[in-house]
Amino acid sequence: MELQGGNNSSLAWVGLHWQELVEHYPNRWVLIADQRVAADAATPSELAKRAKRLGIRRPFMTKIGQGPVVWRTAHAR
């Protein structure tokens, strides 16, 4: 059985630090590597190019928003 996720993944790190990320990188795309923000950029393509220069073949990227994150969703009306 192969396990994805868990405490050591980049995603779990974002989950633990997302409030700090919102404070420090509003409206920016961030590249997470080795449990830290390795680079940030305004667009995903710019960030992918920076990752290539850093020698990271398949970077993990996500966008940090600005303001409160809204989680609740509802589809039925």
The site for another protein (CB under 8 A) is made up of: 1-6, 9, 11-12, 14-16, 18-19, 21-22, 27, 43-45, 47-49, 51-52, 57-66, 69-71, 73-75, 77
Largest CA distance in the chain: 48
User: Which of 19/34 has CB closer to another protein?
Assistant: 19
**Shortest distance in whole angstroms from residue 10 CB to another protein:** 8
Q: 5 or 55: whose CB is closer to another protein?
A: 5
Q: Which of 19, 17, 6, 14 is nearest to 61 (CA)?
A: 14
